[in-house]
Each structure stands twice: as structure tokens, then as C-alpha cells.
A and B are shown apart, each in its own frame.
Chain A
Amino acid sequence: MPRNEYISLGTQREQATVENLLIEALRIYSIECYYLPRGIINRDFLLNEVIESKFDDAFKVEMYLQDVEAYGGDGQFLGKFGLEIRDQLNLVVARKRWDQLVGNFNVNGRVRPGEGDLIYVPMVKGLFEISFVKGDSPFYQLGNLPLYTMTCELFEYSNERLDTNIAEIDQVEDLEATRIILTIGASAITYRVGETVSQVLDSDTTVSGQIASVTATTLVVTQTRATDSDLFWQVTAGGYGNAIGAISGITSPITAVDDIVFDQDPLAQNDGFESDGNSWIDFSVDNPFGSANSFGE
């Protein structure tokens, strides 16, 4: 036998002792984070990408922040697409604790921290996406692998659904998701923030969304979905029904629809281009090659 059998690299008891010491240290020096497993709603098997995701669960887990001086990554910079924030974090979690607090619930089939899952760090109010999980550091010191080290970067939001019931996490969706303003009238204030509001358009089509905020006369709705691709929110008339709150039970007619506004995106100039362009483009000329501002309509 080539190896000395009287010297061990770690018995199970030694491994468990060291692992428990690591966990104790992590629970002292770590910060509390929320772990959000990604749920895949629609996957494109041709282009090999996830079209639509949802994050319905958030598990509180202690994680050690490896970066002690500042974020990693490129930080904040002004690019051609506006202000981008390329912050990175390295977070360490004990394998045993992750199994206890997340893995045991078998959400979305996770048996280990997964790339693409999210971690919300309340201390910095940042939502981070796991880009890589390193499971072999420290490398078999006692013959086991007690830690996961997760490289995370600030999340690029693209209309993902966040319904965790943790207000500060769900608020990301309220602020960043595509917003539509429905003018309801005096009864708008009686709808509940967070509830689903829907409108029946015809026998095949119901459009629904989540109320992000209410004013006296308007509902700001995010995450609009529709059972048919041709119709969206409509002013109540004829066959187009009222806006119905799923929890509050309120039903009121929609008097105006402000379709997809950019009040939370100060860099978007869509409406500014249109107002300037309309005064300089001659729409009266019958242009055989088409008319401006017609894309997507």
C-alpha cells in the first residue's frame, strides 16, 4: 500500500468538528441574506436560454462577505446604455447550513446553490445574481468540502417576477418592472397594493397585473399578463370589462390607459424623441416608404 495507513487526512468526527467550528464562526461574522431560487417559467430550447423567470421564495441564510474593502467588479460607470453598476461580491456559506435552510425544501430542484439564483443582501440593499459557485475551497483539507463560495454580481433586471412576500425584495419589481397606469376614478384608493387586478376583454382574453401603487384615481400596474397576445388593457366600454381586484373585490371601470410609462427610468428618452420629432417630421407627406413612429404599433 503506497500511503501510510496510520495517518488519516480526516475522520468523519474530525470533519464534523471542523465543519461545526466553521459554521459557528460564520454565524458570528456573517451577514443575513435571502436566497432566492430561480423558477423557470419558459425556457427556449432552441436558443438555449430562459425567456421568463420567477422568484417566489426567499430563504434567510447567513453568509460571510469575503470582500472587506469594497465591491469587486468595475463599479459604477457611464456606458452607452446609461449608468451601469457592475458590482461583484463573493459570499461564503456553509454547505451544511445551506442544506438545512434551503436545500431541504427542494425548491425548483436545487440540491446546491445554483448559478442564476439570486441573493438579496439587506445590508447593501442589493439584489445579486450568482454567476459561479465554487464548491471545492478549502480543497479537501480533511477529506471533505464544507463551504460554498459564490461569486455574485448585481442583478440585471429584465422584468423577472419577484413574489417573495419580503417587501424590500418585491419592491425591486415594483420599481423596475414595466409599468402601466390605469385611471380608475375616485375608487382607485380602495384597491390593495400587491393584489392582482384583472380585466376581461372577451371570452378568450383576460389581462391581469399586479398593483405596485395606487393614488386617489390611478393604479400603477406591473407584470401585466394576458391570455391572448392580441389585446392588452383597454378602456372599459362595450365588451371590455371593469378592473377587478382579486383580494379587495373592488370592480371599477377603467377610464384611461397610459401604456408602458418610463417614470422610473430617467434615462429613457422615448417620449422626448417623439415630442421633438413630431415637430420636425412632416407626417403630412404621404411617404411611400412608410411613416415614422409606426414600429411596434
Chain B
Amino acid sequence: MLGNFFYHKTIKRTIAAFGTLFNNLIVRRETAAGAVLSQTRVPFSYAPRQKFLARLDEITKTEEQRVAIKLPRMSFEITGIAFDTNSALNRMNKRKLVVGDTSATRVFQSVPYDINITLSIVAKNQDDALQIVEQILPTFAPEYTLSLKDLEGAGSRTDVPVILTDITPEITYEGDFASRGIVIWTLSFTVKTRFTGETQTQGVITDVDVDFMNFANRDEFFSEISIVPDSADEAVITFNSTNDEDS
């Protein structure tokens, strides 16, 4: 691969941010009079995991496993990543990150990609699933925008729209009585994120001399403008002109 190693954890950050959106959903069961019979915070997880780890995590319970699964639950997984041509900008744009006295770090224009994420909800009752879905839908119209830190280099703030693109209920109730009924809702999202390349370092121009002369006769010197920082400690982006027309 061209250039040096870099890894900005963009996808991991997207996973964490997406997970934060849905980590506090509640399912409540009430009587007709409004009294609360039970209330559950819905367990939520990133679906892919190492198989041995899943077994080890459950090992204490598995040895005395008394139930098949605890419901309701939610999980999500990444199903695809595609380039977002509509959001692409000039790749030669540069973004300065840290500017020192003699050097500065910069990154080239970030590249937009769509990350497709599928959120699945499983419940024992339709009403539980409906409670979860109805807590989610009003927030997405159809997008909800997160502001993520450091996605396009240190100190950056990037708006990342999370777009709800599809909702599919799967309620299996037909068939023989020996097979389980299933209530699963699948919500498809597109997260419009941006990937940034290697952070590069370059020197900083600390003073500039401009000479004005006769282009036809270069021995004929008109004037000179010298631009330098006020002091060594001054940030180089606050140049002061010391142009003296008489010099």
C-alpha cells in the first residue's frame, strides 16, 4: 500500500456511536389501568463475535443452562460498505490539524463511504417489539445526525447522518405447533461516514520575501516586502506584514 501505516478506527467508532443510539430502550408491560407489571432495558449487542468467546462468556450459565435465550434482545451488524459518490469532494483539499513553529500536520480530503448496518429486534411478544420499534422510528426522519469527534483528523467534528432506509417485520405464526413462533423486526440503516488517510507532516513557511522589479529589465529593482512572524513564539498563521514602501 502507498504511504505509511495509519489506522483511525473509523469503523469501530461508527459501531460504538451507532450502539450508543440504541442502548437505552425500554420495554414496559402494563395493566389496562396503567400499573407497571415489569420493565426491562433491552439488551443490545454487536452481533459478530468470536465463537469461543461467546461460549466462555456463557460458560457459567451453560453448565446449568435453564432457558434457551432471554428476550427481548437487539443486535446489529455491518452488512456492506459502498463509496458515496454524491458526497465526494476534491481529493486535493487538505485539512491542517496541528500547526507548529516549523512544521504542521495535515490530512487530505476525507473520502465519503456509506456503511450499511442492519439492526435486528427479537421479542417473544409482538407488543414488546412494537414498543422498541416505536421508540426508534420518531427519531429518524429518515435520518438522524451524529457529530463524531476526530473522524477527519484530531480536533475535527464531523456530522454523520444515520439514515433509516428499510423496516421489515418477520412474524412467523403459521405452521405446525412443534416449531417456534418468531417475532423479528429488521431495520436497515445507512451511516454516511468519512474515511481519512495518512496524517502527513510538512514544513511551515515562516517568512516570505517578495521582490518587485521590472520584468523587461530585471536589474531595475522596485521594492521588497518581507513578511515574518512578530516573534519566534508567534503562531505562524498570524503573519504581520512589515511591508515598507520606502525600503
- Residues of chain A having any CB pair with chain B under 8 Å: 41-42, 44, 47, 49-52, 76, 78, 80-88, 115, 125-127, 131-132, 151, 153-159, 171-172, 175-178, 223-229, 232, 259-260, 262, 264-274, 276-282, 285, 287, 289-290, 292-297
Question: B24 to A42, Cβ gap below 8 A?
Answer: no
Known contacts A49-B127, A115-B177, A159-B38; 10 additional CB pairs below 8 A are A47-B125, A76-B62, A82-B45, A154-B67, A156-B67, A172-B67, A265-B70, A270-B23, A274-B24, A296-B41
- For residue A172, which residues in chain B have a CB less than 8 angstroms away from its CB? 66-67
Instruction: Pick 18 A–B contacts, CB within 8 A, sort by A.
Output: A41-B37, A42-B32, A49-B126, A80-B77, A84-B69, A132-B177, A159-B29, A227-B36, A266-B58, A267-B43, A268-B43, A273-B19, A280-B16, A281-B20, A290-B139, A294-B24, A295-B22, A295-B136
Contact between B16 and A276, CB atoms less than 8 A apart = yes
- Segment with Cβ contacts to A, from B49-57, B88-96, B195-203: B49-57
With A158-B72, A270-B23 as known contacts, state yes or no: A52 contacts B37, CB within 8 Å. Answer: yes
Nearest 3 pairs of A and B residues by beta carbon: A277-B20, A273-B19, A268-B43
Number of interface residues of B (CB under 8 A): 75
Would B31 and A81 count as touching, CB distance under 8 A? Answer: no
In the assembled complex, B71 has its CB within 8 A of some CB on chain A: yes
- When the two chains form their complex, are residues B54 and A82 in contact, meaning their CB atoms are under 8 A apart? yes
Contact of B13 among A159, A260, A267, A280 (CB under 8 A): A280
Q: Are A260 and B39 in contact (CB under 8 A)?
A: yes
Are A265 and B148 CB-contacts (below 8 A) given A44-B127, A47-B127, A158-B125? no
Does B146 have its Cβ within 8 Å of any Cβ on chain A?
yes
B234: Cβ under 8 A from any A Cβ: no
Give bound CA distance, A297 to B124, whole Å.
23
Are B61 and A175 in touch, CB under 8 angstroms?
A: yes
Q: Footprint of A on B, CB under 8 Å? A: 13, 16-17, 19-26, 28-32, 34-41, 43-47, 49, 51, 54-55, 57-58, 61-62, 64-73, 75, 77, 120, 122-128, 135-136, 139, 141, 143-150, 157, 176-180
Smallest Cβ distance from A175 to chain B, in angstroms? 7
Nearest CB in chain B to that of A285: its residue: B147
Across the interface, which residues of A come within 8 angstroms of B37, CB to CB?
A: 41-42, 51-52, 225
Contact status A81-B25, CB under 8 Å: no
- Closest A residue, CB atoms, query B173: A48
Whether the pair B128, A296 counts as a contact (CB closer than 8 A) is no
- Residue from B23, B145, B150 in contact with A289 in the complex, judged by beta carbons closer than 8 Å: B145
Q: Judging by beta carbons under 8 Å apart, are B43 and A262 in contact?
A: yes
Hey, which chain A residues are within 8 Å of B71, CB to CB? 156-158
CB pair B28 A178 closer than 8 Å: no
B141 partner residues in chain A, CB cutoff 8 A = 289
| A226 to B30 CA separation, bound complex (whole angstroms) | 9
Give the distance in Å from the alpha carbon of A293 to the alpha carbon of B176 in the complex.
41
Given the known inter-chain contacts A269-B45, A289-B143, please indicate yes or no for A176 contacting B70, CB distance below 8 A: yes
Q: How far is the CA of A45 from the CA of B40 in the complex (A)?
A: 22
Complex: how many Å from CA A115 to CA B178?
10
Given contacts A155-B68, A282-B147, contact A268 B127 (CB under 8 A): no
Nearest CB on A from B14, distance (A)? 9
Assembled-state Cα–Cα distance A44/B127 (Å):
9
Q: Which residues in B have their C-beta under 8 angstroms from that of A294?
A: 24
Given contacts A82-B45, A131-B178, contact A269 B19 (CB under 8 A): yes
Nearest A residue to B186 via CB reads A80
- Are B31 and A290 in contact, with the CB atoms below 8 A? no
Bound: A227/B37 CA distance, A: 9
Pair B39/A86 contact, Cβ less than 8 Å: no
Contacts of B68 in A (CB 8 A): 84-87, 153-157
Distance of A47 Cα from B70 Cα, bound (Å): 21
CB contact under 8 A between A78 and B49, given known A49-B126, A50-B125: yes
Residues of A within 8 A of B17 (CB): 277, 280-281, 292
Instruction: Say how far A16's CB is from chain B's closest CB, in angstroms.
Output: 30
Q: Across the two chains, which residue of chain B brings its CB closest to A260?
A: B41
Q: How far is the CA of A85 from the CA of B69 in the complex (A)?
A: 7
**B145 — which chain A residues lie within 8 A by C-beta?**
287, 289
B135 to A: closest C-beta gap in Å? 5
Q: Known contacts being A78-B51, A282-B147, is A273 close to B28, with CB within 8 Å?
A: no
Q: Which residues of A contact B36 (CB under 8 A)?
A: 224-229, 232
**In the complex, which residues of chain A have a beta carbon less than 8 angstroms from the beta carbon of B21?**
292-293, 295
A104–B211 alpha-carbon span in the complex (Å) = 110
